[in-house]
Amino acid sequence: MHYLAGRALVRYALTQSSHSNPRHAHIMFGENNKPVLAKKTNELQRHFNISHSGDLVVCALANSKIGIDIEMISPTVDYLSIAHAHFSESEASWVASKSVGINERFIALWTIKEAYLKALGIGLAIPIGRVITTGVKLRSCQVYSEDGPSRSKWHCRFVKPESGYWLSICHESVLDNVKIQQITL
């Protein structure tokens, strides 16, 4: 069900951003077999990414590589232990910096790292602990990996689309011209 909802959301987002017929949207596989929208002559390449968690399915659409990740926050998971096991010392310290909001800070960093790996199209080929976030501010940061194909810093945003969820978007340039669509199942 999530797969079909994600594909429908991509077609809807494409229709909304380009005013084209969604039946004419063809998906092909680009670098690292990451799906992209096939471009026609004189058109910009359109990149997309899909994520789902719980009842939400989200899609991001942009003119260059993009990744999106959404996670539902669980009140029973010990996120601080996971942060100490898989994040850098400074990231784990940031997660633990206040007694309130540990779960949200953890999920924000986790979704940023996943969105980055999805944008590259390499999945968990790089351990999540090797993905480094810098300049974490309210709702934004930069991310890179020394093991990745590109050592340039990518731009990220994280938002709380609904209560109990965090969503992160990672884009290789400033997050202009990025369209986000969401559906609740």
List beta partners, residue 181.
59
Domain boundaries defined on the chain: 2-184
pLDDT value for 42: 60
**What parts of the chain have a pLDDT lower than 50?**
none
pLDDT value for 82: 95
Domain 2-184 annotated CATH 3.90.470.20? yes
* Three-state SS at 42: coil
**pLDDT tens-digit series, residues 88-115:** 898 999 899 988 889 988 998 999 899 9
Encoded amino acid at 178, one letter:
V
For the whole prediction, is pTM greater than 0.75?
Answer: yes
Quick one: which H or E segment has residue 138? none
List beta partners, residue 46.
37
Any idea what the Cα angle at residue 46 is, between residues 2 and 176, rounded to 5°?
100
Alpha-carbon torsion, ordered 156, 162, 164, 166, to 10 deg: -10
